[in-house]
Structure 1
Amino acid sequence: MSPERTIVVAEADEVDAAALLGLLGDAGFLPSHARGVAEALELAARRSPVAVLHELTLPDGDGLDICRGVRARTAE
């Protein structure tokens, strides 16, 4: 997967996620869907995305947890 085109979408709602994934795919990106914070951080670690799109509230935390986790990993 090309890191310069990869985007992680952290969205609990399946309908909203499908819409975002479709739009990003149509725009030439390689979107990956995460349903929560833990999954988003795992995908971000494996795929080194150019962006992580997330909603503020997720089933296992919030979007700020994703920001902190990605920032901690990239600061190493």
Structure 2
Amino acid sequence: MGLGTKNRLQQTAAACTDYLREEHRDKLGLVMEFIAEVEGAGGDIAQWNQFTDVRRSRTEMLERVETAFQKWLAGG
């Protein structure tokens, strides 16, 4: 994996986790559980890539993260 790819994965993971922590401060424990579930036991930050699209739109990515989190909260 190239350095550029690794940096992009780290930026994606940071953007998603920071967004969730900021938007849902009142549910921080649940946010941490969701983050752990997305990354898996090994803490694989590449799993955050599932929320990106070809255009690498930050807005769309965060909307997808929010939708996934809300779905997860609802138990589905």
TM, length-normalised to structure 1: 0.31
Query: Higher relative contact order at CA 8 Å, sep ≥6: structure 1 or structure 2?
Result: 1
Which is strand-richer, 1 or 2?
A: 1
- Give the structure with the higher percent helix: 2
TM-score by structure 2 length? Answer: 0.31
